[in-house]
Every structure is written in structure tokens, then in C-alpha cells.
């Protein structure tokens, strides 16, 4: 039996962009659109042509250089009250965008009609019908988004049904029911979709859930089980307020758990990669604990779990991570047993024997260091260096003989007395031994850690020019014992990249500079280690 096809409609570029903190450039939108196209998403909503210059440029670019398989969709509201669709200038840029598909949003809730639009219920029906009829006369295909559908249906079901019947009569190909406020529960979604199907016949129904009750994915699944054939959502669940339905969860749940046909299997296997690319373009940290695509989605930390997973992955995994392009990870922590050490070492390229005393030595070192405040589950580069140290394979490419950091405050005439930001400057000097010679260098930076990092790089780059490609991607400071006040022990977690790979290192000390120094030095050491064609352990970081 052929699986039932579910059309996936991505609105990351419009609804997703309404999340606080996201601002896509034209180039960002184009890149995301092409990634979604490669993923196999059939409908990609690009934005509202005419609403802002970026969206105009975006649609113009894709008209000149089309996507390979996806339909790019323009978005707009119904015409204004008291006008005709043909005379409403708002609709002209929509037609000018050149898209075959247009999504039109109309009001379903009588409250929004009378108080929001300040017009009559009959005029709203006319607006829906007139707008769709006009666009259809220009050979466009229409997805009608029934805004606030579930709230409207709850308050006035007859009128809510009348709005979608107006869209159907005008020729809409799809009717999408929107849980715009995100407050509807899954059983209500399912029952209402069933009633709509009975009321409107064979027209194709879609669902557009929001996540205000943390139920958007569940509501999407409930709607599909009730007969919906399209799901609108966003990559990583981005969207206004609490977000939209997360397609990175919707798609694998529908396809791998319920047997629906959403994407080709080989495309589904790139889902994790697309999720991380979109988060990178959005300049947001990936959610490590996201279902299916998160870094920790298939991570195993407890010793008994690791031992069982090594024998048979289904003991603690609900599906093979490779189906969505993710990987199994063995997490190292104070809860680790020998099984963790062996598994993690193997993933990093070290084939250790359980009976080898080195395994026990590594485990004891790990637990002792984590008792002191180290945390290796988020700093796997530091853990690999710990393994190399225990095996006698750690050959430091340089040795820091000493460093000093000077922190000077600029006088008020240079920086305003009422603003501490920008009033300080830091200078670091380091002495480094490399291949039998000592190098002394100094550098300024935006703060003491920045200055120390710059001085180290300056000293090393003449011998190791690849260091120029290293850069800091994240710097986290954690106070471990807050009751100790300014004498508290500090943990510094440093994430670095060379533009291709990422790695993380950790340092702990009662002195934040020393903790930072430890993490910085290990970061540079590990980055240089990646030159060696032994393995690419960073893929696990």
C-alpha cells in the first residue's frame, strides 16, 4: 500500500523570521531557501512581496534563478474592506513576484472581523471571495490560510465554516486551518478537522499550528490523523512568541513513526544538517536537546546505558539516528563507567582494551577532575587530550613559559565617566617555547582574555600559520560555588573553529584568567592536532 502523501509547507522565511532576535538578510533568505529546496520541501513561503525591500529582492532573485523542485510561495492578506481586489494596490506586488502559488490569509473569527478589520461579517466573506477570484483570474493557485480558525470556530462555528466555503467557492486549492494563538489542544484539533472535512467535502485541508502551549507538533500530528494533508511549520520551530510547529520534529514523526510520505528517505537523512545550517544563518545557538536533530538527541551518559547501547542500540534509542542525519554520541562525565571510556575512545579513534590499566587511569582522572569542577561532556577536545596524555601520545606543539596581563582604565576625558563600557584596555605578554626557541610577544585586546589569546596567536603564527584560520565561536563562564563570592572557582568553556570543524575545551581555576588560559591553550593545541591525518574527532564535538 502506497503511503499517504503529506505536503510540507515551510514558512521559516516569514513566520520564522518573526521570532525575536532573528533578522534575515536577502542573502540569508536565499541560502535558507536553497537548503530547503535541496531537502525536498515542496512549498517554501518566501515572504510578503511589497511589504519591504528585502522581500522584493528575494522574489526577484528567485525569479531570475529558480529553485530546482520547490514551489516558492508569496504571502498576502485579503483585500481591504470597501475596495475591490483589482483596485487594491497591495495585491499588485504579489502578482509581480511571479510565483505560481500564493497564500492568502483571511479572518475566520467574527471578533477579528468586527473589531480588528472594523467591517461587517458579509464584507469579510466578500473580501475572501473577491481576492481569491481576482488572483485566480491571473492564473495563480491559492492556499487559503484561515487565520484564528480554531478560536473562531469555537465562538461562532457557522460563520467560521462560511469563511472557508467562500474561499472554496472562489477556487482555492488548499484550505489551511490556523491555530494562530496556539491555545488549542490536540483532541480539539482532531475533532474540529473531522467536522470541517464533513462540512466542506473533498477540498484539501492543511494545518498551521503555533506552539504557545508546547503542542504545535502534537497538534500537527492530530490534524494529519484527522485527514489534513498539509502541515505548515518552520525549521527548528522558529516563530513569533513561542514559535511554530517544528518541522524537524513533525516530519520524522509523520514519516518514521506513522508511515506517511513527507520526504524521500535520502533527503530526510540531511535533516540534521539543514537544522544546523538554518540556526547558523539565523545566528542562534542550536538547541542541543532538540528531538531528532539535537546534539544530545542520541547521546548516552549513564554507564549501564552505554554498555547496553553498545550491544544493541534499540535498548535506549527509539530509532537509528542516521535516519535523520544525526549521530550516536557517548558522553563522558563523572557518571561514566569503563564502557563509556571504551566507547568514547573508540569514537575518537583509540582502540583500548578493557583490561588495560590505562582505562581505569583515565576513568579515575576523569572523576577526580570533574569533582574539581571540570566538565568534559561539553568539552570533548579536552577529553581527547586527556586520553592522549594517559597513553603517552600527547606531544605539545608549544610550551607557555609564562604570561602577564595588564588591565588599564582610561581617564574620563578619553571615555565618559558614566559609561564603563569601553573605558578599559588590556595588554598581555606571553613567553612561548617552540622547537627549542623562546618567543616573547605582546598584544592588546578587548579584555584580558582577548589580549591573552591575541598574544598567544601572535607568538605561534610564525611557526604555525594555520592558526590564522582559528577563531573563537563561544566563550562561557560558570561560577561553581557562588557562596564563595569573588573567590569562587570558575569554569570556562571555550568553543573554537577553523571554518570547517568545531571543538570545545575547558579550564577550571579560582582565577578566571587562569581558567581561561587553560581553555585557550588547549584550544590552540587541539586545533593544531587536527592537522594530523589520524581522524576528525571534532565531528563529535
Q: Any idea what the CATH number is for the domain that residue 172 is in?
A: 3.20.20.70
Nine cell digits for residue 324: 535523520
Rounded to an integer, what is the distance from CA 296 to the centroid of its chain?
A: 13
Which of 68-72, 205-209, 344-348, 387-391 is predicted with the least confidence, judged by mean pLDDT? 344-348
Burial of 93 (0-12, 13-18, 19+ CB in 10 A): middle
> Of 371, 390, 421, which residue sits at a domain end?
371
Statement to judge: residues 351 and 408 lie in one domain: no
- For 341-384, give the DSSP string: HHHHHHHTT----TT-HHHHHHHHHHHHHHHTT---TT-HHHHH
Average of per-residue pLDDT across 479-494:
77
Which of 256-270, 464-478, 480-494 is predicted with the least confidence, judged by mean pLDDT? 480-494
Residues spanned by the domain of 445? 399-540
Per DSSP, the three-state class of 69 is coil
Report which of residues 385 and 534 the model is more confident about: 385
Identify whether the C-beta of residue 12 lies closer than 8 Å to the C-beta of residue 19: no
- 213 found inside a domain: yes
Threshold 0.75, pTM exceeds: no
Average of per-residue pLDDT across 469-495:
80
**What band does 539 get if pLDDT is binned at 50, 70 and 90?**
very low
40 φ/ψ sector (left φ>0, alpha ψ -120 to 50, else beta): left
Rounded to an integer, what is the distance from CA 237 to the centroid of its chain?
A: 8
Which of 51-55, 360-364, 402-406, 518-522 is predicted with the least confidence, judged by mean pLDDT? 360-364
Statement to judge: residues 311 and 242 lie in one domain: no
- 377 found inside a domain: no
CB burial of 121-143 (b: ≥16 within 10 Å; e: otherwise) equals eeebbbbbbbbbebbbeeebbbb
Q: pLDDT (tens digit, 9 = 90+) per residue, 231-250?
A: 999 999 999 999 999 999 99
Statement to judge: residues 250 and 317 lie in one domain: no
Nine cell digits for residue 513: 584568567
- 378 found inside a domain: no
- 385 found inside a domain: no
Question: How many domains is the chain partitioned into structurally?
Answer: 3
- 393 found inside a domain: no
26-39 vs 53-64: helix axis angle to the nearest 10? 50
**What band does 538 get if pLDDT is binned at 50, 70 and 90?**
very low
Q: pLDDT (tens digit, 9 = 90+) per residue, 411-426?
A: 655 555 444 555 567 8
Nine cell digits for residue 227: 485527514
- 61 found inside a domain: yes
- 384 found inside a domain: no
Q: pLDDT (tens digit, 9 = 90+) per residue, 504-515?
A: 899 999 888 899
Statement to judge: residues 320 and 403 lie in one domain: no
Statement to judge: residues 172 and 85 lie in one domain: yes
In 3D space, the residue among 228, 279, 280 whose CA is nearest the CA of residue 254 turns out to be 228
Q: Residue 404: give its domain's CATH number.
A: 3.30.160.270
Statement to judge: residues 173 and 234 lie in one domain: yes
In percent, how much of the chain has pLDDT > 70? Answer: 91
Statement to judge: residues 187 and 251 lie in one domain: yes
338-347 vs 357-371: helix axis angle to the nearest 10? 100
- 391 found inside a domain: no
Amino acid at each position: 500500500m502506497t503511503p499517504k502523501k503529506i505536503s510540507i509547507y515551510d514558512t521559516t522565511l516569514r513566520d520564522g523570521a518573526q521570532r525575536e532576535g532573528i533578522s534575515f538578510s536577502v542573502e540569508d533568505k536565499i541560502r535558507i531557501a536553497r537548503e530547503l529546496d535541496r531537502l525536498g520541501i515542496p512549498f517554501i513561503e518566501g515572504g510578503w512581496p511589497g511589504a519591504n525591500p528585502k522581500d522584493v529582492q528575494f522574489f526577484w532573485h528567485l525569479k531570475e534563478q529558480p529553485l530546482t523542485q520547490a514551489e516558492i510561495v508569496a504571502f498576502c492578506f485579503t483585500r481591504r474592506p470597501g475596495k475591490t481586489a483589482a483596485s487594491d494596490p497591495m495585491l499588485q506586488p504579489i502578482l509581480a513576484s511571479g510565483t505560481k502559488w500564493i497564500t492568502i490569509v483571511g479572518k475566520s473569527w467574527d471578533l477579528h472581523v468586527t473589531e480588528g478589520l472594523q467591517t461587517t461579517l458579509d464584507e469579510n466573506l466578500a473580501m475572501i471571495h473577491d481576492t481569491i477570484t481576482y488572483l485566480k483570474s491571473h492564473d495563480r493557485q491559492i492556499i487559503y490560510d484561515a487565520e484564528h480558525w480554531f478560536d473562531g470556530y469555537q465562538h461562532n462555528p457557522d460563520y467560521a465554516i462560511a469563511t472557508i466555503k467562500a474561499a472554496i467557492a472562489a477556487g482555492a486549492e488548499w484550505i489551511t486551518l490556523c491555530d494562530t494563538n496556539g491555545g488549542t489542544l490536540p483532541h480539539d484539533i482532531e475533532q474540529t478537522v473531522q467536522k470541517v472535512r464533513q462540512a466542506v467535502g473533498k477540498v484539501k485541508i492543511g494545518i498551521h499550528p503555533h506552539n504557545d502551549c508546547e503542542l504545535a507538533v502534537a497538534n500537527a500530528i492530530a490534524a494529519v490523523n484527522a485527514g489534513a494533508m498539509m502541515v505548515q511549520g518552520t525549521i527548528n520551530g522558529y516563530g513569533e512568541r513561542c514559535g511554530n510547529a517544528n518541522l524537524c520534529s513533525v516530519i520524522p514523526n509523520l514519516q518514521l513513526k506513522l508511515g506517511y510520505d513527507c520526504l524521500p528517505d535520502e533527503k530526510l537523512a540531511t535533516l540534521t544538517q539543514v537544522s544546523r545550517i538554518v540556526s547558523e544563518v539565523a545566528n542562534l545557538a542550536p538547541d542541543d536537546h532538540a528531538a531528532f536533530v539535537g546534539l544530545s538527541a542520541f547521546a548516552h551518559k549513564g554507564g549501564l546505558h552505554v554498555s547496553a547501547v553498545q550491544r544493541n542500540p534499540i535498548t535506549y534509542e527509539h530509532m537509528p539516528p542516521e535516519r535523520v542525519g544525526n549521530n550516536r554520541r557517548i558522553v563522558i562525565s563523572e557518571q561514566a563507567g569503563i564502557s563509556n571510556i571504551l566507547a568514547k575512545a573508540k569514537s575518537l579513534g583509540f582502540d583500548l582494551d578493557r583490561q588495560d590499566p590505562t582505562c581505569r587511569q583515565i576513568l579515575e582522572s576523569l572523576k577526580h577532575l570533574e569533582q574539581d569542577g571540570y566538565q568534559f561532556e561539553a568539552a570533548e577536545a579536552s577529553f581527547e587530550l586527556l586520553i592522549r596524555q594517559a597513553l603517552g601520545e600527547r606531544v605539545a606543539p608549544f610550551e607557555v613559559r609564562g604570561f602577564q596581563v595588564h588591565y588599564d582604565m582610561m581617564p574620563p576625558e578619553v571615555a565618559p565617566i558614566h559609561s564603563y563600557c569601553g573605558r578599559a584596555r588590556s595588554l598581555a605578554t606571553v613567553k612561548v617555547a617552540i622547537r627549542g626557541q623562546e618567543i616573547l610577544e605582546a598584544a592588546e585586546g578587548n579584555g584580558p582574555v582577548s589580549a591573552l589569546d591575541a598574544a598567544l596567536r601572535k607568538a605561534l603564527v610564525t611557526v604555525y600559520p594555520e592558526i590564522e584560520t582559528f577563531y573563537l565561536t563561544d566563550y562561557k563562564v560558570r561560577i561553581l560555588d557562588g557562596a564563595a563570592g569573588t573567590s569562587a572557582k570558575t569554569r570556562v568553556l571555550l568553543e573554537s573553529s577553523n571554518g570547517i570543524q568545531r571543538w570545545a575545551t575547558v579550564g577550571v581555576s579560582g582565577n578566571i584568567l587562569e581558567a581561561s588560559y587553560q581553555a585557550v591553550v588547549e584550544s590552540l593545541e587541539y586545533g593544531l592536532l587536527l592537522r594530523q591525518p589520524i581522524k576528525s574527532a571534532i565531528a563529535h564535538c
